Amino acid sequence: MNDDFDFKADFDFEDEFDDELENDFADLEDEIDSDEDLLLRTAILQKNNMTALLCIKSAPAGAAICRVDPRESFPAVQLYEDREAAMHWFSRSLRTSKQNGWNVVYDGLPLQG
């Protein structure tokens, strides 16, 4: 009996990409672990039936803030040359979001998995 939902791919994704991706992620983790000045922080916010994300990644040379807002079509990224300025704006954005009724459901290191 032939099942219409049985799909046979032309290639095995894990065989093709698994080792390559695993090596890339291992390199990234090593880089993050070795740089004590690197700051990563993720905040997950919830309001009504919406979920938003606010992230910062900073290093001594600069920083980036990423905001994923469900009301916007695309994520927004703001780059900063000054790490302290980025931290100020991240904190301000988080505080403003709370004042606007968003609940912070997670605030810490980026989640893995």
pLDDT tens per residue, range 26-41: 555 555 455 567 789 9
State the pTM of this model. 0.65
Task: Report the distance separating Cα 87 and Cα 58, nearest Å.
Answer: 8
At residue 48, does pLDDT exceed 70? Answer: yes
Mean confidence (pLDDT) of the chain? 79
User: In 20-95, at which residue ranges do the beta strands (DSSP E only) sit?
Assistant: 39-47, 50-59, 62-68, 76-80
At residue 95, does pLDDT exceed 80? Answer: yes
At residue 110, does pLDDT exceed 90? Answer: no
Domain boundaries, the chain: 37-107
Task: Report the distance separating Cα 44 and Cα 5, nearest Å.
Answer: 36
- Averaged pLDDT, 14-33: 54
Which is higher by pLDDT, 85 or 30? Answer: 85
**pLDDT of res. 61:** 83
pLDDT over 90, % of the chain: 53
Question: Cβ distance 90 to 23 under 8 Å?
Answer: no
- Averaged pLDDT, 37-60: 91
**pLDDT of res. 51:** 95
